[in-house]
């Protein structure tokens, strides 16, 4: 009998027996030499991700000049990157350090929910940022009237509601499946593909998986590409080369983020649809595509965005001034006490 089937809950509904395992077994990387180094690498990636995204979020929060529609979206992306990595990598740490590869049925569904919610939000937030660049370059005089802080907040809020709704539906459909064969998951987290382990009809899960992949990955990428086509035409109408260059610089960071997020993950999904790939190759590629962009996003935005660099310098100077004042006050207090 397969791992994890030692204790099960059988629920009879309409003369059909649904078998829910008490836990799943995450196989992770199987028979890969020196796999522990890959896990260590993911731990380092997670540490950098946490520091980088907290830094970019703190900078946006503290610098009043960054309280704009554009940086509301950047803040949300950093938040989703941080939470998305936190939904993934700590379980890897648990698997590697404690050798605990079991995950309860409920925790598995919870893990699936959070991983896909934040991945969805990363995709949609990049789309919102493309919309921001489209309005800024194609309608510069109306930008502040069209894309206010309230408008961007409403857009982000609608994206959260949409993401939570569709991923809740996707995970809820897993609960109608009966796992009477294997509960060994060829992954390092509870990905949606575990429906293939079910004994009963999982055609609805297959359909919803493909529809959501198209709607949440391919469709946003197409819209982003179209927005940059419009931006390209708008840039051609700008006569001054300096203005063209300045407008293009505002898009560079976003284009890099889009390429890092979409190209690897879409490549993995597309290849998986066309040719069979080994479980270990799929796991490594998926792990890297889900963890490297969240680590690099804050670094790229910090280095490639002049506004953030200037705000960091201002905040650093303010911190030094405050520290100097505090030291001066302490010296004066000591003199008074003596």
Domain map of the chain by residue range? Answer: 8-304
Q: In a 3-state reduction of DSSP, which class is residue 338? A: coil
Task: Decide if 23 contacts 4 (C-beta within 8 A).
Answer: yes
CB 119 within 8 A of CB 268: no
Whether 131 shows a pLDDT value over 60: the answer reads: yes
| 151 vs 282 pLDDT, higher one | 151
pLDDT in the model for residue 312: 75
Q: Quick one: pLDDT band at residue 82, thresholds 50, 70, 90?
A: very high
pLDDT of residue 180: 82
Tens-place pLDDT, residues 314-329: 777 766 655 555 566 5
pLDDT digits (tens, 9 = 90+) for 10-63: 444 444 566 788 888 888 776 677 777 887 888 889 999 999 999 999 989 888
User: Any idea which residue has 């996707």 for tokens?
Assistant: 170
Q: Is the pLDDT of residue 2 over 60?
A: no
Q: In Å, how far from its chain's centre is CA 122?
A: 4
Instruction: With a cut of 90, say whether residue 266 has pLDDT above it.
Output: no
For residue 23, which of 277, 155, 194, 153 has the smallest C-alpha distance?
194
pLDDT of res. 73: 94
Give residue 196's pLDDT: 87
Binned at pLDDT 50, 70 and 90, residue 66 comes out as confident
Q: Residue 263 in 3-state DSSP?
A: helix
Q: Which CATH superfamily, name and number, covers 8-304?
A: Rhodopsin 7-helix transmembrane proteins (1.20.1070.10)
Residue 143 tokens read as: 């930008």
* Encoded tokens for 219: 């469709």
The top-scoring range by mean pLDDT among 9-18, 82-91, 181-190, 230-239 is 82-91
Strands (E), the chain: 8-13, 16-21, 23-26, 102-104, 184-185
- Residue 321: its pLDDT value, please? 58
* 65/86 Cα distance (integer angstroms): 29
Number of H helices, E strands in the chain: 10, 5
């Amino acid at each position: 009998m397969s791992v994890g089937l030692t204790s099960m809950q059988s629920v009879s509904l309409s003369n059909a027996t649904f078998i829910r395992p008490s836990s799943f077994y995450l196989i992770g990387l199987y028979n890969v030499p020196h796999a522990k180094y890959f896990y260590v690498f993911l731990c380092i990636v997670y540490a950098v991700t946490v520091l980088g995204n907290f830094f970019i979020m703190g900078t946006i929060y503290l610098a009043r000049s960054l309280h704009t529609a554009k940086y509301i979206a950047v803040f949300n992306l950093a938040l989703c990157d941080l939470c998305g990595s936190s939904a993934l990598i700590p379980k890897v740490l648990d698997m590697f350090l404690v050798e605990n590869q079991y995950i309860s049925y409920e925790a598995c569904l919870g893990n699936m929910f959070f991983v896909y919610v934040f991945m969805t939000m990363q995709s949609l937030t990049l789309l919102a940022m493309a919309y921001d660049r489209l309005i800024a370059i194609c309608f510069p005089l109306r930008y502040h009237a069209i894309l206010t802080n309230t408008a961007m907040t409403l857009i982000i809020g609608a994206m959260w509601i949409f993401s939570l709704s569709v991923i809740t539906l996707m995970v809820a459909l897993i609960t109608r499946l009966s796992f009477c064969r294997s509960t060994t998951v060829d992954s390092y987290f509870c990905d949606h593909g575990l429906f293939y382990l079910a004994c009963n009809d999982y055609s609805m899960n297959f359909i919803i998986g493909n529809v959501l992949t198209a709607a949440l990955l391919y469709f946003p990428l197409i819209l982003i590409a179209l927005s940059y086509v419009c931006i390209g035409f708008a840039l051609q109408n700008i006569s001054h080369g300096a203005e063209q260059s300045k407008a293009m610089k505002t898009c560079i960071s976003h284009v890099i983020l889009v390429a890092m997020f979409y190209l690897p993950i879409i490549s993995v999904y597309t290849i998986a649809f066309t040719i069979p790939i080994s479980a270990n190759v799929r796991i490594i590629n998926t792990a890297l595509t889900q963890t490297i962009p969240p680590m690099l996003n804050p670094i790229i935005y910090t280095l490639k965005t002049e506004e953030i660099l200037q705000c960091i310098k201002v905040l650093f100077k303010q911190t030094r001034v405050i520290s100097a004042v505090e030291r001066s006050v302490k010296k004066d207090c000591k003199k008074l006490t003596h």
